[in-house]
Structure 1
Amino acid sequence: MRRLLLAGLIAFAVLPAAAETAPALDLETIMANPDWVGHAVENPYWSVDGRSLYYSLKRDGSQVHDLYRVDPASGTGSKLDPAAMAQAEGPAVYDRAHQHAAYLMHGDVFLVDLASGRRVQVTRSAQPEASPQFSADGRALQFRDGNNWYVYDLASGVTAPAAVLKFTDDPQAKTPDTLEQQQLGLFKELRENKHDKDAEHADQQALAAADPTRAPLPFYLGDKQQLVDTELSPNGRWMLVVTAPAHHDDGRVPHVIHYVSESGYTEDEDARTYVGRNDPAPQSVLLLDLSTHKQYPLATDKLPGIKDDPLKAIRDKTIAALEKAGKDDDAKALKAPDVRSVTLYSMDAGSASIAWSEDGRNVALEFIAVDSKDRWIASVDFSQHALVSQHRLHNDAWINWTYNDFGWLKDGRTLWYLSEESGYSQLYSKPLDGSAKALTQGKFEVSQPQLSNDGQWFYLRTNQVAPYSYDVYRVPAAGGALSRVTQYGGMDQFALSPDGSQLAVLHSSAYVLSQLAVQSAQGGTPRELTNTMKPGFTAHAWIQPKIVQVPSSHGAGVIYAKYYGPANETDALSSRPAVLFVHGAGYLQDVSESATYYQHEQLFNNLLVQQGYVVLDLDYRASQGYGSAWRTAIYRQMGHPELEDLLDGKAWLVKNHGVDPKRVGIYGGSYGGFMTEIALLRAPGEFAAGAAQRPPADWVTYNHGYTANILNDPQLDPEAYRISSPITYAENLRDPLLINHGLIDDNVLASDSLRLYERFVELHKQNFWLSLYPLERHEFEHADSWYDEYRRIDELFQTWVKPNAAH
């Protein structure tokens, strides 16, 4: 079995009950505040001693999350009140000898002696600290406040800054100009003053070098750069400083307008810049030697392929067109750089991707080319103060946003990393002076790698059984067989216990939000620890979506999809209506055995089936979980392969479920809204009506981080933007289109929908509507807005898609 739902969860398992026995659904119920459904268990972690588990849970009627503690052995647990919170722990880190642990709680750092259990509060400050780590010798605890690192000495209890960074020029290093030299030559008092200053500066340097009780002297890094990130070595010898140009121009910023505000006045706020207004600021790295107080730039111009131009063919074509049009200045601006700019890959926590070995003797950095075609993992040769490339990953389309994890084995000289070089995310290891070795192999995705504390095992999340089925597997760190540990199919997240013997597992299913279980790290029967679903929700006989395989007519193989239909297919109409739901984000997987991100839409799909429709939800090309070729099929042609897949889904419904090809609707939000517009405008007549929520209508107004990866810069690749944007095809509108958009959406700006609406007006189109929501951003948060939005979608489909609709 893929799920072992024990007694605690059997009560709310979804049963294949007949549709006629279920209470009738209505929009008021399914679009109500989702508190009525239940809450997902979030962010589980082990206590310092490994005897308890903590997790958070959203509070009913509030966005506040409460902290819970549960005994994994007995299953007993409780919500922590303020008094209990004062004694709670955060996720812990341990020293190499496993004598001490440290954690963050309410933004402060705490230290625990594991033998005695004694707890010491290291900081009590208004600003939050972060990133606690122990020194390599275990004698100090390091942590950061913003980008400032501090070192707490365990023996003395003294805290000191690891380094002091000043982004100005060193006043003592300034060379006197001609006028200053003249002044010093003329005036004795000025010469003596300067001599005194120089002597005092030299004395301070000598005292700082000889006296470890003093704060370190500052590093003067100049005013041409601004600080991005810092990372301190566990041995305290080195610091890496990531910088960007101080006065980089990101481009003009559009505004979000608040028409309904507390003040009663119209208010505006800055949004993100448009793609191509200016490339992201290139980043540089400085290596600081804290013992000798010297700094060294780590040049990236020797990284393999850094001087290549992967966009040469596109660049040459665009430049030639601009020169032919007499736009010589624009053509010159597109000239390829001699060396491509890079940034450090940004981790989920927002810090740069820098990984130190536990002993602090080695470090690796992960760079991404600004054009997104290459990823490099490089170590540092400390004797030469230079980068040494360890791995290059190239993709003609773009490097993935995910599957970029990396780190060190316990020997401190062997890297591990994820790479899509085989076509799928797999785990590799590589000694600094050796060849890479694949630890996993196959046509499945590997993510969430966690190395056990003893360094013997990697625990992973993979979909080896089927693209839609995820579980925890493990593989020996030295290489060997990949073995399955959990048996859920809908495993979402896991955390290894401090001693490596147990796994805390979050798992979910179609109508069960993430729940917490614990089991042996070697496998076996889990103990279910939570049941946070609400009885009023679980009592309903929800339709279990069937995972089906839709054949591609365009050589893409199989398109996985979720099918929602009546319990008794033999009672179905011979010519029934259907709806395609299109998931958002583009790169997202909605066809899986886990709970869907789209709770409202899944319940709406149930309502549609009750009303006589069948519904299909496809993981079209661009979706996550199917390898890099599936992901990058949309490169320079967003909306084209995906539309082919949606049309194949429609054809499958017609062939296999008696669907009337003239009675098929389509809806979705964000990228799903974009695809709804594309479907109606690039394939007019294929869909009876469409509803697009918060849709990008013109990719030139979206952000750089997402869009430039797929379509390059609009100045360089204007054709890719033209063929990928719904507004290009506005003249093709002939089928009813409803657009819903939050007015204060700061992700996909409402101006996208307003611009497309105006285009329809000028083209004298009919049957298009725009509904605006003054208090909603990209993700709607208010039940009234959800209800109104889906009431309009329901009415659209009832009018234009149902078999008895009047056209």
Structure 2
Amino acid sequence: MRLFTLLVLLCCSGNPLMAQSPTVEALTAYPFPSELRASATGNRVVLAINQQGRRNLYAAEGPSFVLRKLTAYDADFGDEITGVQLSADGKWVVFVKGGDHGAYNGSTPRNPASLPAPPKVQVWSVPFEGGAPVLLGDGDEPAIAPGDDRVAFLRDGQVWISPIGGSEKPEPLFYARGENGSLQWSPDGRSLAFVSARGDHSFIGVYHGDDRRVQWIVPAFAYDSSPSWSPDGKRLAFVRRNSSGGLPDSILAPVKNPWSIWTADVAGGVGSRVWQSPQTPQGAVPTTHGGTNLRWAGKNRITFVSYHDGWPHLYSIPETGGAALLLTPGDFMVEHITLSPDKMWLLASANTGPDGDDIDRRHLIRVPVDQPAMEVLTPGTGIETFPTVTGDGAHVVFFSATATRPTLPAIVDWPGTGKAARLLGEALIPDALKNAAQVVPKRVEFKAPDGETVYGQLFEPKGGAAKKPAIVFIHGGPQRQMLLGWHYGDYYANTYALNQYLVSRGFVVLAVNYRLGIGYGYDFHKPLFAGRYGASEYQDIKAAGEWLAALPQVDASRIGVYGGSYGGYLTALALGKDSDLFAAGVDIHGVHNYIGRIPPVSAEPAPDAERAIALARDASPVSYVGTWRSPVLLIHGDHDGNVDFQQSIDLVRRLQQHDVPHETLVIPDETHHWMLYKHQVLVDQAVADFLEKHLIEQKNQ
């Protein structure tokens, strides 16, 4: 445990804000829970918790639900724990160690600790009651067969099988061309549905264990995905989209990507379409958590998420087809969706509730699968996410945070008892973090130049100078939303901690939720001429800086900016286009050059290809190096699976050629997500030190 440092009163500096300022180590010492699972029967649950890089499994069982450490991985090698599964009877936990599952290819081995042995991504199992983990084999994305002691998993795009206890070596289950995935066992465990992705098309397949054959379900010139078994195991529902091809369409027009729900009788192989999304941009496949979230529920209903009314909402249809019933009407979004064990209820987290600020929070909701009778289960000022119902249907387990307490697992009796939720594992929060001073951010709104409303959370220090330096924080994604509390995503829990640290150093911090982000409806999420095709969202970043500059408590000459990933891209754009407004910035693994990423003009070009290329040039930070004057710190790990390291190499060279003041921090073998805790602390401290040097120390000299 890292010690919380109580700084002595700095009478010589004259800055009361430094009197009890927490360290970066104290604020980033939060335990981060993930991978919450419940057994299909009984009341057993398991989850993964990352404690400053020490990633382990924890188990709990009713009625006490006391957290118990299940594994003993007490060194930080930066190897993830993902793919956690709990057998139906609750006797076995299966999980994956290694990889970077926030990257485009999560199964790629990563080695952020620069260990001399080659890294691996492997499937393991461990008894729920405790014991040494057992290696099942190299692979990823495990799926435990119901009612049986077998685990299917993926290796090099093929499906393998292993006894859950590792009593025999794994072996290939079958061969199917393409990259196979989305493994879904039938309720009786005798058949396995999967998706075979083949580049420009994909099929739904079913492997039948009784006669060891692969069956293709209604194959077509299409992308088929998201197989879901009917409760009786006789039918499959799946999503179908158009395959690529056809006459080149406009690049800049709103994208229309309609999709449909199909069902098929597995024995007969006959299928039919039971629902079609509208032929509108809003009718495209949702790009929020879980996509369509297709599930074959109870009461002969199929449930899913669609954006076609302007918000990502839950819908259901009869399994035989018909009009979609909107289950969650209102101006809010749903995500983290699950189905109760009896398949009669949908649970989710949503940015809605009785408080006007709930649009910048998450609360748990539940709704019957066949009627729009939604309830908000956890009103208040907290952040509640990832609900999971225990197999006996008696409890809801979820993740809970507040503005000043990081995320912890929590449990509440199935709604109706009136009992309050209780936290699990409070002792995992170090005293240094419990005692660290934190501020409660305030929700704010302001206007961009084109009249679009921009949203944000304002963090303000108490006391100090009348005119304070300020920071605009830009989240990544861009399909994310910063909240009025500790975030449910690990990358953004870290930036929330960093924003609290910056406040402790005397900065006013504005976390800006710019267009392209989630939480504020389709038009905000999918604006025209955004990203590489015009960067219309940059208006929101500039507006955030100008809004800060107009605050009476802010020194308009000392406004900085920082962000990672897409936030790094917008940081670079801000410094290149508006050095007069943004006096310094930190660009963390951002994209800097969209030129060349646009479909080229060819013998059969898109009608607006040339304009798209011109807009990409205007949207690229490298186009503004000539007007870039503010100092910048560039940070990048060179095994980044999300943004090419070359993007920063190219920008650094251009900054050198134009004599732009810059510093760099390169972390060999590290990924996009700071897998090693010491690297996370290194990066956070570097961000704070650079901004403090250029916006506070130079002012005081």
User: Aligned pair in 2 of structure 1 residues 751, 487: CA closer, same or farther (>3 Å)?
Assistant: same
User: Aligned pair in 2 of structure 1 residues 405, 734: CA closer, same or farther (>3 Å)?
Assistant: same
Aligned equivalent of 1:536, options 427, 432, 448: 432
Aligned equivalent of 2:261, options 357, 377, 381: 377
Give the Cα separation in 2 of the matches to 1:795 and 1:111: 46
Q: SS state of the match for residue 801, structure 1?
A: helix
Q: SS state of the match for residue 668, structure 1?
A: strand
Give the Cα separation in 2 of the matches to 1:284 and 1:58: 37
Aligned equivalent of 1:643, options 535, 538, 555: 538
Root mean square deviation, CA, Å: 4.3
User: Aligned pair in 2 of structure 1 residues 591, 244: CA closer, same or farther (>3 Å)?
Assistant: closer
Give the Cα separation in 1 of the matches to 2:377 and 2:688: 43
- Other-structure match for 2:144: 132
Q: Which of the pair is proportionally richer in helix? A: 1
Q: Is the 8 A contact 1:162 1:236 kept in 2?
A: no
Q: SS state of the match for residue 728, structure 1?
A: helix
Q: What letter matches 2:640 in structure 1?
A: D
Alignment of 1:615 with 2:567, yes or no, is no
User: Aligned pair in 2 of structure 1 residues 722, 368: CA closer, same or farther (>3 Å)?
Assistant: farther
Aligned equivalent of 1:484, options 373, 376, 389: 376
- Other-structure match for 1:414: 301
Alignment of 1:25 with 2:21, yes or no, is yes
Query: Shift of residue 463 of structure 1?
Result: 1.2
**1:700-779 paired onto structure 2 within 5 Å:** 717-762=612-657, 764-779=658-673
Query: Shift of residue 536 of structure 1?
Result: 1.5
User: Aligned pair in 2 of structure 1 residues 481, 657: CA closer, same or farther (>3 Å)?
Assistant: farther
Aligned equivalent of 1:298, options 202, 208, 218: 218
Q: Is the 8 A contact 2:85 2:143 kept in 1?
A: no
- Other-structure match for 1:282: 201
- Structure 1 runs not aligned, ≥5 long: 1-18, 83-89, 95-99, 118-122, 153-158, 168-224, 246-279, 302-341, 346-352, 705-710
- Other-structure match for 2:8: none
Aligned residues: 602
Q: SS state of the match for residue 537, structure 2?
A: helix
User: Aligned pair in 2 of structure 1 residues 661, 408: CA closer, same or farther (>3 Å)?
Assistant: same
Q: Is the 8 A contact 1:376 1:393 kept in 2?
A: no
Aligned equivalent of 1:79, options 43, 65, 69: 69
Query: Shift of residue 775 of structure 1?
Result: 4.5
Alignment of 1:65 with 2:53, yes or no, is no
Query: Shift of residue 390 of structure 1?
Result: 2.2
- Other-structure match for 1:578: 470
Aligned equivalent of 1:462, options 350, 355, 358: 350
- Other-structure match for 1:593: 485
Give the Cα separation in 2 of the matches to 1:609 and 1:227: 47
User: Aligned pair in 2 of structure 1 residues 343, 754: CA closer, same or farther (>3 Å)?
Assistant: same
Q: SS state of the match for residue 749, structure 1?
A: coil
- Other-structure match for 1:343: 223
User: Aligned pair in 2 of structure 1 residues 133, 553: CA closer, same or farther (>3 Å)?
Assistant: same
Give the Cα separation in 2 of the matches to 1:130 and 1:792: 38
Alignment of 1:359 with 2:232, yes or no, is yes
**1:262-277 paired onto structure 2 within 5 Å:** none
Q: Deviations for 1:600-628, whole angstroms, at most 9, x for unmatched residues? A: 54444345444443111111111122222
Alignment of 1:424 with 2:414, yes or no, is no
Q: SS state of the match for residue 498, structure 1?
A: coil
Q: Is the 8 A contact 2:41 2:90 kept in 1?
A: no
Q: Is the 8 A contact 2:529 2:536 kept in 1?
A: no
Q: Is the 8 A contact 1:378 1:391 kept in 2?
A: no
Q: Is the 8 A contact 1:393 1:419 kept in 2?
A: no
Q: What letter matches 1:390 in structure 2?
A: W
Query: Shift of residue 355 of structure 1?
Result: 0.6
- Other-structure match for 1:310: none
Q: Which segment drifts farther, 644-653 or 396-405? A: 396-405
User: Aligned pair in 2 of structure 1 residues 632, 530: CA closer, same or farther (>3 Å)?
Assistant: same
Query: Shift of residue 461 of structure 1?
Result: 1.4
Q: SS state of the match for residue 513, structure 1?
A: coil
Give the Cα separation in 1 of the matches to 2:687 and 2:229: 52
Q: Is the 8 A contact 2:338 2:387 kept in 1?
A: no
User: Aligned pair in 2 of structure 1 residues 374, 591: CA closer, same or farther (>3 Å)?
Assistant: same
Q: Deviations for 1:429-451, whole angstroms, at most 9, x for unmatched residues? A: 11223222111111101123333
Q: Deviations for 1:684-720, whole angstroms, at most 9, x for unmatched residues? A: 422112221111111368899xxxxxx9999994344
User: Aligned pair in 2 of structure 1 residues 458, 236: CA closer, same or farther (>3 Å)?
Assistant: closer
Q: Which segment drifts farther, 39-48 or 438-447? A: 39-48
Query: Shift of residue 458 of structure 1?
Result: 2.0
Q: Structure 2-normalised TM-score?
A: 0.74
Q: Which segment drifts farther, 790-799 or 416-425? A: 790-799
**1:237-252 paired onto structure 2 within 5 Å:** 242-245=195-198
Give the Cα separation in 2 of the matches to 1:556 and 1:621: 9
User: Aligned pair in 2 of structure 1 residues 720, 668: CA closer, same or farther (>3 Å)?
Assistant: same
Q: Deviations for 1:169-204, whole angstroms, at most 9, x for unmatched residues? A: xxxxxxxxxxxxxxxxxxxxxxxxxxxxxxxxxxxx
Q: What letter matches 1:536 in structure 2?
A: A
Alignment of 1:549 with 2:448, yes or no, is no
User: Aligned pair in 2 of structure 1 residues 712, 148: CA closer, same or farther (>3 Å)?
Assistant: farther
Q: Is the 8 A contact 1:666 1:676 kept in 2?
A: yes
User: Aligned pair in 2 of structure 1 residues 713, 163: CA closer, same or farther (>3 Å)?
Assistant: farther
User: Aligned pair in 2 of structure 1 residues 480, 298: CA closer, same or farther (>3 Å)?
Assistant: closer
Give the Cα separation in 2 of the matches to 1:562 and 1:478: 37
User: Aligned pair in 2 of structure 1 residues 632, 519: CA closer, same or farther (>3 Å)?
Assistant: same
Q: Deviations for 1:483-510, whole angstroms, at most 9, x for unmatched residues? A: 1212353102221121222111210123
Q: What letter matches 2:33 in structure 1?
A: V
User: Aligned pair in 2 of structure 1 residues 664, 803: CA closer, same or farther (>3 Å)?
Assistant: farther
Query: Shift of residue 367 of structure 1?
Result: 3.4
Q: Structure 1-normalised TM-score?
A: 0.65
Q: SS state of the match for residue 538, structure 2?
A: helix
Query: Shift of residue 231 of structure 1?
Result: 5.2
Q: SS state of the match for residue 378, structure 1?
A: strand
Give the Cα separation in 1 of the matches to 2:127 and 2:670: 43
- Bigger Rg over Cα: 1
User: Aligned pair in 2 of structure 1 residues 393, 769: CA closer, same or farther (>3 Å)?
Assistant: farther
Q: What letter matches 2:387 in structure 1?
A: F
Give the Cα separation in 1 of the matches to 2:674 and 2:126: 38
Aligned equivalent of 2:323, options 417, 435, 460: 435
Q: What letter matches 1:533 in structure 2?
A: I
Give the Cα separation in 1 of the matches to 2:40 and 2:346: 21
Query: Shift of residue 667 of structure 1?
Result: 1.2
- Other-structure match for 1:330: none
Query: Shift of residue 144 of structure 1?
Result: 2.8
Q: Is the 8 A contact 1:485 1:521 kept in 2?
A: no
Q: Deviations for 1:67-98, whole angstroms, at most 9, x for unmatched residues? A: 343x554464543478xxxxxxx85565xxxx
Q: Deviations for 1:309-330, whole angstroms, at most 9, x for unmatched residues? A: xxxxxxxxxxxxxxxxxxxxxx
User: Aligned pair in 2 of structure 1 residues 703, 42: CA closer, same or farther (>3 Å)?
Assistant: farther
User: Aligned pair in 2 of structure 1 residues 433, 141: CA closer, same or farther (>3 Å)?
Assistant: farther
Q: What letter matches 1:25 in structure 2?
A: S
Aligned equivalent of 1:687, options 582, 587, 598: 582
Query: Shift of residue 126 of structure 1?
Result: 4.8
Give the Cα separation in 2 of the matches to 1:725 and 1:572: 37
Q: SS state of the match for residue 359, structure 1?
A: coil
Query: Shift of residue 480 of structure 1?
Result: 3.5
Q: What letter matches 1:67 in structure 2?
A: Y
Q: Is the 8 A contact 1:37 1:537 kept in 2?
A: yes
User: Aligned pair in 2 of structure 1 residues 555, 495: CA closer, same or farther (>3 Å)?
Assistant: same
Q: Is the 8 A contact 1:694 1:742 kept in 2?
A: yes
Q: Deviations for 1:526-551, whole angstroms, at most 9, x for unmatched residues? A: 22332021111211222222222234
Q: Which segment drifts farther, 640-649 or 664-673? A: 640-649
Query: Shift of residue 462 of structure 1?
Result: 1.3
